[in-house]
Amino acid sequence: MNPVDALSRLGQPKVLVLGDLMLDQYTWGSTSRVSQEAPVMVLQVDSREHRLGGASNVCHMLRVLDAQVTCAGVVGSDSAGKTIIDLLNAAGIDTQLVLKCTDRVTTQKERLVGRTGSGLPSQILRVDTEATGEINSTTEADLINQLRQQIPEHDVVLISDYAKGVCTHGCVQAAINTARIAGIPVLVDPGRDIDFSLYRGATLIKPNRKETEAATQATIDNPPRAIQAGSDLCQQLDLEMAVITLDSDGMALVPRHGPGQVYATKARSVYDITGAGDMVLSVLGLCFGGGLCPEDSVQLANVAAGLEVDRTGVATLTRNEIMAELTAERNSLRKQVTVSQAAQFAEEYRRRGKRVVFTNGCFDLLHVGHVTYLEEAASHGDALIVGVNSDTSVRRLKGAQRPIISEEDRVAMLASLACVSRVVIFNEDTPHHLLQQIQPDILVKGGTYEPHEVVGREIVESYGGQVCVTQVLAGVSTTRIVESMQTNQRLLRAG
């Protein structure tokens, strides 16, 4: 089935998520001085934020995807546990299977994030509070009893194991066996360093490349090996299928009976895998619960994973966002951004040690000279952002008869070039505002300029950036093309 049609036919499946519930706390601030008490930076706190993590993040992702969600897990009798329950309830997630336990703390991860003089945030420290031992037998028995009662009321069961002690052998096997009897699929995202035999009998297991290699003692460096490893897991664990996520190589769907297939993912300018595993599990759960076939489910999960890694940190996605990615007829729909989005893109890229290149122009009547120049500009870094003068700006600069091509079409043509990462329209006569917001590492201009003559040079050099002038293709320019066209028209009229 067409992925667009598959997504369109999904209803609101009832999903039960069993797993380790976590609270992520972010403390944001600025760092400008060293403490007098110790050789450490002082974080001047601006704000704090709580987010759902672990299995509770899967619940949140599913709820944003418009599923009906029941959360099953354990929290401590502490403020962090209360916050998790409050956040789940606020999101419209059923918390009747979230049990409070007095003999363990709620898993909490606090990240201290500071902004330096450059304005770029970076994580200074992470503080973990957690209990990793298995839940006590009384809590386990209570959870098993409630799972057996509630699972038949759902369309799919997800097990999100973060190896924090909730996914005991008793709980996992009770969930799998109950679901099997009821004809309900069970999808597992395995815990790190966990013996996969814990998940025997599940419908599907979703390990990543490293986890699969550890479980099968095989190296996965090409698609056939991924498919063979998935087949081995299915046979060993009595699974119906395995989905192996292969980071930038996409994911492999391997049924127990029949050939496997690797689904490639679209190359992304930013690649942050944080949250990608949870997103894949969430979309697979949504699709299996909605009755889609495995092939359609994996295709949609693959698209969602690509969108997730294109963003920094853990992010939720809506069905509309996935649909927009599926239905985009031109890459320009994703590459065209606002000034603030371009600045965020550049910031995310620099945080990964990458170099951002910027160039700008009217790009009216895109020709081979433009393409050659843009390819050379892109070669100076890892991502190229192109600023395009708006129609209004071009008229001020070139006269009332220009531009010949509208800004929408100029952007679409630029975005179709593989060397261009992002395109942003600006209405000013100069790119000064863009440069101040984006702060590229390198400003490139094509022509016979000297570097000190490039417009915006002083802004880029003020924060340590570089200016580069590339060669132009002799004899090719928009002005000459227009003059040639006008000459030909005059000759035709005269003839």
Look up the pTM and report it.
Answer: 0.70
Q: Is the CB of residue 157 less than 8 Å from the CB of residue 175?
A: yes
Query: Encoding tokens for residue 327?
Result: 């239905």
First vs last C-alpha separation in the chain:
58
382 burial (CB, 10 Å; 0-12 / 13-18 / 19+) is middle
Tokens 């007098």 locate to 36
| Residue of 20, 272, 278, 296 marked active site | 278
pLDDT for the residue numbered 273: 58
Q: Is the CB of residue 443 less than 8 Å from the CB of residue 450?
A: no
Domain range 3-327, CATH architecture: 3-Layer(aba) Sandwich (3.40)
Q: Is the CB of residue 60 less than 8 Å from the CB of residue 318?
A: no
Rounded Cα–Cα distance for residues 237 and 423 (Å): 49
Q: Which of 317, 291, 194, 296 is nearest to 243 (CA)?
A: 296
DSSP letters along 71-121, please? EEEEEESSHHHHHHHHHHHHTT-EEEEEEEETTSPPEEEEEEEEE-TT--E
Rounded Cα–Cα distance for residues 27 and 447 (Å): 47
Give domain limits for the chain.
Answer: 3-327, 334-485
pLDDT for the residue numbered 495: 56
Rounded Cα–Cα distance for residues 216 and 42 (Å): 46
Strand extents, DSSP E, 184-323: 186-189, 204-205, 241-245, 251-255, 261-263
CA distances from residue 168 to 22, 74, 110, 133 in whole angstroms, order as listed: 17, 12, 26, 10
pLDDT for the residue numbered 8: 87
**H/E segment holding residue 21:** strand 21-34
CA 407: distance to chain centroid?
Answer: 29
Rounded Cα–Cα distance for residues 122 and 114 (Å): 6
CA distances from residue 233 to 237, 280, 427 in whole angstroms, order as listed: 6, 19, 57
**Helix, strand, coil percentages, rounded to 5, for the chain:** 40, 25, 35
At 139, which amino acid appears?
Answer: T
Q: Is the CB of residue 15 less than 8 Å from the CB of residue 150?
A: no
Query: Encoding tokens for residue 81?
Result: 């546990």
Q: Which residues of 63-96 are buried (b: 16+ CB within 10 A; e: fewer)?
A: bbbebbbbbbbbbbebebbebbbebbeebebbbe
Phi and psi, residue 286, nearest 5°: -60, -45
Give catalytic status of residue 189 as yes or no.
no
**Mean pLDDT by groups of 10 residues along the chain of 495 residues:** 84 97 92 88 90 96 96 96 97 97 95 73 88 95 97 98 96 98 97 94 96 93 92 96 90 92 70 74 96 94 82 77 72 74 84 84 80 88 93 90 86 88 93 94 84 88 90 56 54 58
Q: Which of 22, 18, 11 is nearest to 275 (CA)?
A: 22
pLDDT for the residue numbered 119: 56
Q: How many CA atoms lie within 13 A of 359 on its CB side?
A: 27
Query: Encoding tokens for residue 310?
Result: 């294109």
Helix (H, G, I), strand (E, B) or coil at 186: strand
- Range 334-485 classified under CATH 3.40.50.620: yes
Helix (H, G, I), strand (E, B) or coil at 251: strand
Rounded Cα–Cα distance for residues 247 and 244 (Å): 9
Neighbour tally for 493: CB within 10 Å:
7
Rounded Cα–Cα distance for residues 6 and 294 (Å): 11
CA 324: distance to chain centroid?
Answer: 15
